[in-house]
């Protein structure tokens, strides 16, 4: 108890001076704090979350978009923060490479650095498929003039909201803090001619930790440190961004979307709002637990806005599996398909499927939070020719160490984007953002 009081006291003092929440965590005495300490930088390179300059970008330089998918060419641009990075760089790499050749060595040896970039690029800080706001109310349960699939979903959400703490309890939460551990590994690779299982059997999983801060409405910040690399991502309610060591800082076009990691049993209210317009498509048994299945689909207008150049996003669907016994979310499946068409060349498709399983729910101040879970990600690349496919399987396991709500002193100043990206928010004004993947 004394340790926790000391943490909150130190946090309040740091936040009052305008420091970022992650930097505050690194300054207090915590057995996990060392992994989140940031490098000390000179005056010419200030702390990215608290820098006060309006922009660090050269005049006329466009912002590269945030990319949640793989980055096989990442090794070529390490150390370059801006030039040629982002989704456009990835697309050009796909168009210039023979679709029949795998992005990863078929020998199974793999490269540790490229494996880590792949893991963090896909599983580090993915976003949900559609925009939702934590201030949006849940739809009123009504059976009149409402399709059975919709009213069934609304009833399931009512049960989920009650089981996870109740609307009254959720409405009292203004901010939240979560600290957890993760383990990641690329476990299997498959091409048209060869399957390499447990390609990293002789290598231990990449271990690390993450810290997640959230604040209403629609603000969040996450730091993930794995294998000596850090991924930073955040939202100030108007702008979503991400920073990696190999691509620098990037913005996400389009409206603010929640961090999918928060939907994995950590943020019940945002999860409920995410499925507010879902439909119930059936039932399924998940690890012996009978569940209802709710489905959320990004509409065509959203998908078109998220497409860029030769990369066309065809679909993005989210499935939620809610236990009939407890009412809680026990599995979440995310499916995303992108088509890349070169001029006169063969079309290449990338399908990313993420299955996350939540477990060990515990009540924290009246809110049910999943304290462990694991995800299995399948990255499937295929073309119009039958012998051109590759498939990579990745896995992540996580445990939650600390959770706290309504942290004293946490303010909007703790969610300021990096200085080189803030001007994008100022330049856009009231323009509707496009969404990317």
Asked whether the beta carbons of 418 and 49 are under 8 A apart, the reply is: yes
Stretch 7-11: mean pLDDT: 49
Structural domain count, the chain: 1
Q: Is 59 inside a domain boundary?
A: no
- Residue 83: pLDDT band by 50, 70, 90 thresholds? very low
Reading the block at residue 179, the tokens are 């600290």
Q: Is 28 inside a domain boundary?
A: yes
Give the residue with greater pLDDT, 17 vs 224: 224
- Return the sign of the alpha-carbon dihedral for residues 71, 76, 79, 80: negative
In angstroms, rounded to a whole number, what is the distance separating the alpha carbons of residues 147 and 78?
52
pLDDT digits 0-9 by tens, 257-308: 899 999 999 999 999 999 999 999 999 999 999 999 999 999 888 888 777 7
- Residue 209: pLDDT band by 50, 70, 90 thresholds? very high
Asked whether the beta carbons of 65 and 433 are under 8 A apart, the reply is: no
Q: In this predicted structure, what is the pLDDT of residue 257? A: 87
Stretch 47-70: mean pLDDT: 37
Q: Is 294 inside a domain boundary?
A: yes
Q: Is 290 inside a domain boundary?
A: yes
Q: Is 157 inside a domain boundary?
A: yes
For residue 127, the 8-state DSSP code is B
Instruction: Give the chain's mean pLDDT.
Output: 75
Q: Which residues contact 373 (CB under 8 A, 6 or more apart)?
A: 264, 265, 356, 357, 358, 359, 360, 397, 398
In angstroms, rounded to a whole number, what is the distance separating the alpha carbons of residues 149 and 97?
44
pLDDT digits 0-9 by tens, 407-428: 999 999 999 998 878 665 555 4
* pLDDT for 46 beyond 60: no
pLDDT digits 0-9 by tens, 145-170: 667 888 899 999 999 999 999 999 99
- Residue 212: pLDDT band by 50, 70, 90 thresholds? very high
Reading the block at residue 128, the tokens are 């949900």
Stretch 6-12: mean pLDDT: 49
Q: In this predicted structure, what is the pLDDT of residue 387? A: 64
Asked whether the beta carbons of 205 and 181 are under 8 A apart, the reply is: no
Q: Is 356 inside a domain boundary?
A: yes
Domain that residue 20 falls in: 10-51+64-428
Place of tokens 């704090």: 33
**Stated pTM of the model:** 0.74
Q: Which residues contact 47 (CB under 8 A, 6 or more apart)?
A: 19, 20, 23, 38, 41
- Return the sign of the alpha-carbon dihedral for residues 145, 150, 156, 158: negative
Q: Is 1 inside a domain boundary?
A: no
Calculate the alpha carbon distances from 299 to 129, 304, 313, 403, 413 in Å.
10, 9, 11, 34, 33
Indicate the SS3 state at residue 242: strand
Q: Is 4 inside a domain boundary?
A: no
- Residue 386: pLDDT band by 50, 70, 90 thresholds? low
């Amino acid at each position: 108890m004394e340790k926790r009081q000391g943490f909150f006291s130190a946090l309040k003092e740091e936040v009052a001076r305008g420091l970022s929440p992650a930097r505050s965590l690194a300054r207090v005495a915590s057995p996990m704090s060392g992994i989140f300490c940031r490098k000390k930088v000179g005056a010419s390179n200030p702390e990215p979350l608290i820098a006060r300059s309006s922009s660090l970008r050269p005049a006329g330089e466009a912002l590269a978009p945030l990319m949640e998918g793989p980055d096989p060419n990442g090794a070529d641009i390490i150390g370059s923060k801006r030039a040629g990075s982002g989704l456009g760089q990835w697309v050009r790499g796909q168009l210039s490479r023979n679709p029949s050749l795998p992005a990863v060595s078929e020998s199974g040896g793999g490269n540790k650095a490229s494996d880590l970039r792949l893991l963090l690029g896909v599983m580090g800080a993915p976003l949900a498929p559609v925009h939702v706001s934590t201030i949006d109310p849940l739809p009123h349960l009504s059976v009149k003039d409402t399709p059975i699939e919709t009213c069934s979903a609304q009833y399931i959400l009512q049960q989920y909201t009650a089981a996870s703490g109740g609307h009254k309890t959720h409405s009292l939460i203004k901010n939240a803090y979560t600290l957890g551990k993760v383990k990641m590994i690329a476990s299997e690779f498959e091409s048209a001619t060869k399957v390499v299982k447990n390609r990293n059997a002789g290598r231990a999983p990449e271990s690390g930790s993450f810290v997640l801060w959230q604040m209403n409405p629609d603000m969040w910040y996450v730091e993930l440190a794995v294998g000596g690399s850090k991924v930073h991502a955040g939202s100030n309610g108007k702008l979503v961004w991400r920073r990696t060591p190999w691509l620098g800082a990037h913005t996400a076009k389009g409206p603010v979307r929640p961090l999918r990691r928060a939907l994995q049993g950590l943020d019940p209210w945002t999860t409920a709002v995410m499925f507010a317009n879902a439909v119930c498509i059936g039932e399924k048994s998940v690890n012996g637990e009978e569940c209802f299945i709710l489905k959320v689909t990004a509409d065509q207008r959203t998908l078109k806005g998220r497409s860029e150049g030769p990369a066309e996003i065809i679909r993005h669907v989210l499935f939620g599996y809610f236990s009939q016994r407890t009412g809680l979310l026990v599995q979440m499946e995310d499916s995303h398909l992108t088509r890349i068409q070169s001029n006169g060349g063969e079309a290449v498709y990338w399908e990313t499927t993420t299955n996350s399983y939540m477990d060990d729910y515990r009540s924290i101040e009246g809110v049910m939070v999943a304290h462990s879970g694991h995800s299995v990600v399948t990255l499937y690349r295929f073309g119009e020719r039958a012998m051109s496919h590759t498939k990579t399987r990745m896995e992540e396991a996580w445990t939650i160490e600390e959770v706290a709500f309504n942290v004293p002193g946490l303010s909007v100043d703790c969610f300021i984007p990096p200085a080189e990206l803030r001007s994008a928010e100022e330049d856009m004004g009231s323009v509707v953002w496009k969404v990317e993947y």
